[in-house]
């Protein structure tokens, strides 16, 4: 269970964890504004900036985040993107966040929005997005020092908050503050409510210049600090492209559309080029797909990556698509073999992700069906994105620091400051075969319901998947599959693949298979065929292969899971922003692992 807060009769938290910070005549929100925002010269310090990064050492009840978000919304000179990265070992319950904000009308609407995304906070990183993806909260659940050591960005402001130093000295010990300092650039401002002597001495040892200033009564003093060490910083300079420019994205499927939208949210003017006349004409043209987490007994790399991606895609679908028409968060029932090993336990928030049922089946609450084409079109409608279909890009050439897309005759179709290759299997050719990519043919069987009411049952997953009732343009339909033909490129439907899908369904959902088997036997079932693009280890490839030349591809059979995550990872790397993943997980998606020698373009 999430940590519960002990509340006093006047509606303020009185546990040792929160009492020192949030009590006072000024109230909790006044404390957040006076100690942390004013302590870091906000909002004045971020005026006119493209982005701003706030690092916080203890999220608690979220008042500091809500105060910063409110200040951002109210400021006409606000940065285009606000990142708020916070550590929290024991996330409170959503109702505690709502209760803490009850006496602050100016943030109640924000608190309600935060509470709707406040689920599934198992140990690890969670990216919560607000205001169309322009306010990004990265909540790192776990030990503060360990979470800080996984960061790879330079903070502009630091909020030193959390337990009282006497209650939990580990959050304030020298080693933790050194980890904070490693996340600072020269000039980063920090603020805290404590003026404890040991904390002051340790901050000075870490390179902070300190100033004791009046606190909010009844506290007499608080600390302001500026990171300005007397020694030269030997850490490598972090890449940080401040100003957006123009970008070309080649590929109008899930990967390309997601990358275009992420860049456009950051102010880029993006052209998306595709040889097809309509978006989502390749593997992303699947009528409907299943979005479901991967589980494993040891909570392996793929399991952790899939949770990060699914949370992000669910948020994107909820903000951009029509519920019940383009997508629906139905949950999914995973059939598991009798001798399958039990998946890893995820802690107090496990039920938001998975629940082991009697008989060994697994219920995934954070699962949905999605129409990929609808998501692609929604991303392409982001202001700043221009779609250009029927345009075949044959090669890239760098001219005077800009990347130009060339046609078959070698003429420039368009030039831009930045190029992103997201053309599935075509990415390898555009990059002169510098990446190793593998085709995987998939055939899905589907048909319309015959007029009878569709069965009320959840989607199924396991060895294949089954969507019992999805609204398509042709009518309400069921879908099942998919085959997995490694190395195959044919787009022609195959009768044997239809039979293979039926055989899988007979194991996955026997009652459904018996109901629709006559359609298979009578040849009435339709087929959809697509060729997916996969890497050797079946993880996506995202990263910069040459200066200004990026790639986002190889989503395999998990395009709905990974494309939004990869797009945000690309944008974060480009701008030196906080990553949506710990550095070790982000490295597992780096395109360089599949590159042959130094990258270039044809």
Residue 4 has what pLDDT?
56
Q: Which of 539, 549, 532 is nearest to 425 (CA)?
A: 532
Residue 599 has what pLDDT?
39
Q: What tokens appear for 235 in the block?
A: 């850490």
pLDDT of 24 above 80: no
pLDDT of 68 above 70: yes
Mean pLDDT of 103-112: 94
Residue 7 gets which letter from DSSP? B
Q: How many CB atoms are located within 10 Å of the residue 453 CB?
A: 8
Q: What tokens appear for 135 in the block?
A: 């306010």
DSSP string computed for 555-599: -TT-HHHHHHHHHHHHHHHHHTPPPSS-HHHHHTTBGGGGB-SS-
pLDDT of 17 above 90: no
Residue 602 has what pLDDT?
40
Distance CA 463, CA 455 (A): 21
Distance CA 585, CA 592 (A): 14
Sign of CA dihedral 318, 321, 323, 326: negative
Q: What is the pLDDT of residues 201-254, one digit of tens each?
A: 999 999 999 999 999 888 899 999 999 999 999 876 666 677 899 999 999 999
Range from 138-142, 303-307, 311-315, 360-364 carrying the lowest mean pLDDT: 360-364
pLDDT of 25 above 50: no
Do 541 and 553 touch, CB atoms closer than 8 A? yes
Report how far apart, in Å, the C-alpha atoms of 463 and of each of 263, 482, 484, 500, 504 are. 36, 9, 11, 11, 7
Residue 168 has what pLDDT?
80
Beta bridge partners of 160: 192
Question: What average pLDDT is seen over the chain?
Answer: 92
Q: What is the pLDDT of residues 379-436, one digit of tens each?
A: 999 999 999 999 999 999 999 989 999 999 999 999 999 999 999 999 999 998 889 9
Categorize the per-residue pLDDT at 28 as very low, low, confident or very high, splitting at 50, 70 and 90.
Answer: confident
Q: What is the pLDDT of residues 156-180, one digit of tens each?
A: 999 999 878 887 888 899 999 999 9
Q: Cβ neighbours of residue 573 under 8 Å, at least 6 residues apart?
A: 239, 543, 544, 579
Q: What is the pLDDT of residues 84-98, one digit of tens each?
A: 999 999 999 999 999
Range from 75-79, 106-110, 592-596 carrying the lowest mean pLDDT: 592-596
Mark residue 62 as left, alpha or beta (left: phi above 0; alpha: psi -120 to 50; beta: remaining).
left
Residue 287 gets which letter from DSSP? S
Beta bridge partners of 324: none
Residue 187 has what pLDDT?
97
Residue 236 has what pLDDT?
67
Read off the pTM. Answer: 0.94
Distance CA 111, CA 103 (A): 12
Residue 13 has what pLDDT?
59
Residue 540 has what pLDDT?
97
pLDDT of 257 above 50: yes
Beta bridge partners of 412: 406
Q: Which residues of 400-411 are buried (b: 16+ CB within 10 A; e: fewer)?
A: eebbbbbeeeee
The segment(s) of the chain belonging to CATH 3.40.50.150 are 19-227
CA-based R_g, the chain, Å: 26
Q: What tokens appear for 140 in the block?
A: 């790192």
Categorize the per-residue pLDDT at 21 as very low, low, confident or very high, splitting at 50, 70 and 90.
Answer: very low
Residue 443 has what pLDDT?
97
Residue 37 has what pLDDT?
98
Residue 598 has what pLDDT?
39
Q: How many CB atoms are located within 10 Å of the residue 502 CB?
A: 18
Q: What is the pLDDT of residues 40-67, one digit of tens each?
A: 999 999 999 999 999 999 999 999 999 9
Cis peptide preceding 335, ω within 30 of 0? no
Q: What is the pLDDT of residues 540-598, one digit of tens each?
A: 999 999 999 999 999 999 999 999 999 999 999 999 999 999 999 999 999 999 886 53
The segment(s) of the chain belonging to CATH 3.50.50.60 are 246-281+375-437+536-594
Answer yes or no: CATH 3.40.50.300 is held by domain 19-227.
no
pLDDT of 319 above 50: yes
Residue 105 has what pLDDT?
92
Q: Which of 572, 50, 545 is nearest to 308 (CA)?
A: 572
Q: What is the CATH number of domain 246-281+375-437+536-594?
A: 3.50.50.60
């Amino acid at each position: 269970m999430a940590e519960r807060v002990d509340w006093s009769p006047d509606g303020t938290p009185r546990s040792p964890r929160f009492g020192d910070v949030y009590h006072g005549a000024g109230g909790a929100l006044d404390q957040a504004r006076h100690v942390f925002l004013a302590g870091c010269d906000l909002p004045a310090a971020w005026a006119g900036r493209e982005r701003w990064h706030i690092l916080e050492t203890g999220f608690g009840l979220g008042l500091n985040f809500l105060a910063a978000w409110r200040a951002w919304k109210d400021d006409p000179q606000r940065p285009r993107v606000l990142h708020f990265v916070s550590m929290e070992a024991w996330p409170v319950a959503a109702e505690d966040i709502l209760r803490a904000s009850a006496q602050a009308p100016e943030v109640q609407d924000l608190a309600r929005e935060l509470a709707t995304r406040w689920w599934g906070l198992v140990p690890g990183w969670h990216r919560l997005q607000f205001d169309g993806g322009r306010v990004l909260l990265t909540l790192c659940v776990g030990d503060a020092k360990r979470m800080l050591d996984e960061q790879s960005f330079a903070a502009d402001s630091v909020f030193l908050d959390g337990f009282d130093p006497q209650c939990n000295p580990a959050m304030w010990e020298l080693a933790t503050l050194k980890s904070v300092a490693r996340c600072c650039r020269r000039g980063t401002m920090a603020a805290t409510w404590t003026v404890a002597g040991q904390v002051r001495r340790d901050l000075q040892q870490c390179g902070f210049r300190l100033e004791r200033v009046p606190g909010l009564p009844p506290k007499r003093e608080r600390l302001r600090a500026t990171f300005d060490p007397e020694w030269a910083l030997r850490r490598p300079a972090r890449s940080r492209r401040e100003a957006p420019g123009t970008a070309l994205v080649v590929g109008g499927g899930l990967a390309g559309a997601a990358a275009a939208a992420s860049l456009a949210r950051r102010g880029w003017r993006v052209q998306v080029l595709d040889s097809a006349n309509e978006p989502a004409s390749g593997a992303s043209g699947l009528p409907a797909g299943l979005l479901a987490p991967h589980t494993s007994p040891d909570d392996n790399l793929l399991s952790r990556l899939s949770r990060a991606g699914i949370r992000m895609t669910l948020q994107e679908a909820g903000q951009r698509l029509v519920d019940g028409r383009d997508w629906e968060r139905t949950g999914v029932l995973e059939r598991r073999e009798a001798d399958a090993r039990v998946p890893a336990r995820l802690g107090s928030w496990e039920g938001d992700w998975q629940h082991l049922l009697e008989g060994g089946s697994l219920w995934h609450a954070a699962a949905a069906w999605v129409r990929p084409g609808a998501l692609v079109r929604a991303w392409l409608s982001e202001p700043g994105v221009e779609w250009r279909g029927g345009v075949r890009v044959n090669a890239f050439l760098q001219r005077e620091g800009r990347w130009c897309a060339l046609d078959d005759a070698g003429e420039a179709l368009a030039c831009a400051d930045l190029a992103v290759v997201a053309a599935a299997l075509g990415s390898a050719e555009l990059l002169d075969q510098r990446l190793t990519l593998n085709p995987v043919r998939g055939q899905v069987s589907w048909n319309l319901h015959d007029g009878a009411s569709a069965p009320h049952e959840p989607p199924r997953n396991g060895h294949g998947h089954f969507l019992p009732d999805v609204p398509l343009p042709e009518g309400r339909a069921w879908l099942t599959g998919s085959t997995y033909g490694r190395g195959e490129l044919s787009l022609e439907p195959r009768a044997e693949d239809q039979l293979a899908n039926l055989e899988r369904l007979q194991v996955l959902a026997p009652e459904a298979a018996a109901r629709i088997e006559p359609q298979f036997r009578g040849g009435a079932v339709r087929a959809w065929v697509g060729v997916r693009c996969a890497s050797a280890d079946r993880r996506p490839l995202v990263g910069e292969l040459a200066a200004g030349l990026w790639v986002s591809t190889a989503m395999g059979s998990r395009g709905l899971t990974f494309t939004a995550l990869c797009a945000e990872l690309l944008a974060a790397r480009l701008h030196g922003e906080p990553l949506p993943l710990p550095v070790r997980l982000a490295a597992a998606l780096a395109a360089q692992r599949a590159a042959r020698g130094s990258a270039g373009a044809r």
